[in-house]
Amino acid sequence: MTNIVNTGNASVDALAEMNISGNVTPVNWYKTILRENGKPYLLAICVLSEIVYWYRPVEVRDEHSGMTIGYRRKFREDLLQKTYNDFAEQFGESRRSVKAAFDRLEEIGVIRREFRNIETNSGMVLNNVMYIDLCVDKLYTCTYLDIPGDDEDVENTGEGIQKQAEYQANKPVTKFCTTSYKTLYDPPTKFCTTPYKTLYDPPAKFCTTLPQNDVPPHTKFCNTNTENTTENTGEITYPIIPSGTGVKTDTMDRMDEVRSFIKDNIDYDGLLHCHPTEKMDINELVELIVETIAVKQPVIRINKYDFPYDVVRSRLEKIDFHTMEYVLECLRNNTTKVRNIRSYMLTTLYNAPVTCCNYYKAEVNHDFYGK
């Protein structure tokens, strides 16, 4: 088979047959997206590149004439909705590292996080769902800002600025269709009419906010925090770990903090070392404790009785290494049929701190003094 591309270099010819797709990373980002020590913040650059990909509009062409009739967005709602875990899994990083990268990007001003409480079709309310807005003006500064020492001849003569001014003055007005392309999952929504940025155009600003009437019907928003902040001021926060440690408003952050606190209490690594065959059981118990403490409810049902949240939480925080061993032994020795395993496990965990010592004392008395 004859190669279509013949450049005189085998590697170049072979690469021409590969369809490589991916995000775009401008070189200037390595000079403008920096850590505090002045080094390029590589993870933040990767995260920004992914966000820019989702905000780049998709061209819509007429099926018959082939002419461009408009542009549509890639995401469904008025802002991009992705979680820290989405980026962590994509880039193989920890959730904490991804959040630090977001903090840096927001400090620079190139993105803005917005946390919302949303209600699903089933009536379930999800708290602190993160939405990401792209600040195109700051993105332009980070991408095209002249770096000292670079292109000094152009900077000194002012040719670049003059050419850009002439282009803006003579730039023709382009009109596009103001209705987005209708997809199978996305109802028609209205977009900003600014034309799409090409290779030679200065960056165009796109409309990133929809009128309330254009919000997709499957999502209902409430208590939106529109300030440029990582905290949701409308949320009631609860101290879930000892005083002195700030409680974060993000639900996943709270669960991570509780999980770390519980694992320290029970000596998680030592417990796994002593009970290597029961790792899955230990992890399930830990996650049940984390869920019960991190997600506050008015009352929690324990063995058919409703207990206040603070009472249950205080009891579960007393669970230590020996208490967990006692819970594992109780679950291991149980032979009766359990219909609601979650309720049974939670009841066992709740009762363990106040029954553990007497259980072992009774076992010792039976073994040494009983018949």
Strands 125-134 and 220-222: unpaired
User: What span, in angstroms and rounded, lies between the C-alpha atoms of 67 and 65?
Assistant: 5
Range of lowest pLDDT (123-127, 161-165, 200-204, 278-282): 200-204
Tell me the pLDDT tens digit for each residue of 56-81: 998 888 888 888 888 899 898 899 99
Residues 91-120, mean pLDDT to the nearest whole number:
92
Distance CA 135, CA 111 (A): 5
Query: From CA 195, how far away is CA 210, in angstroms rounded?
Result: 18
Give which of 72, 45, 236 is closest to 139, Cα–Cα: 45
Long-range contacts of range 359-363, CB-CB < 8 Å, 24 or more positions apart?
A: 359/326, 360/326
- Is beta strand 111-119 parallel, antiparallel or unpaired with respect to 125-134? antiparallel
For position 246, what pLDDT does the model report? 45
pLDDT of residue 191: 40
What integer pLDDT is reported at residue 122 of this predicted model? 75
Q: Is the dihedral of CA 360, 365, 367, 371 positive or negative?
A: negative
pLDDT at 2 over 80: no
Report which listed range, 105-109, 177-181, 256-260, is most confident: 105-109
Q: What is the largest CA-CA distance in the chain?
A: 103
d(CA 183, CA 358): 65
pLDDT bracket for residue 165 (50, 70, 90) = low
Least confident of 66-70, 243-247, 268-272, 306-310: 243-247
The C-alpha atoms of residue 111 and residue 105 are separated, in whole angstroms, by: 6
Identify the residue whose tokens are 């919000």: 215
How many residues are recorded in the chain?
A: 371
Task: Taking residues 148-170, report their average pLDDT.
Answer: 50
In the numeric block, the tokens 């899955």 are attached to 280
The residue with greater pLDDT, 93 or 148, is 93
Q: Let me know the angle formed at the C-alpha of 124 by 346 and 117, rounded to the nearest 5 degrees.
A: 110
Q: How do residues 198-223 score in pLDDT, each as one tens digit?
A: 333 344 444 444 444 444 444 444 44
Place of tokens 């013949």: 6
The sheet that has 220-222: what strands, in order across it? 125-134, 111-119, 220-222
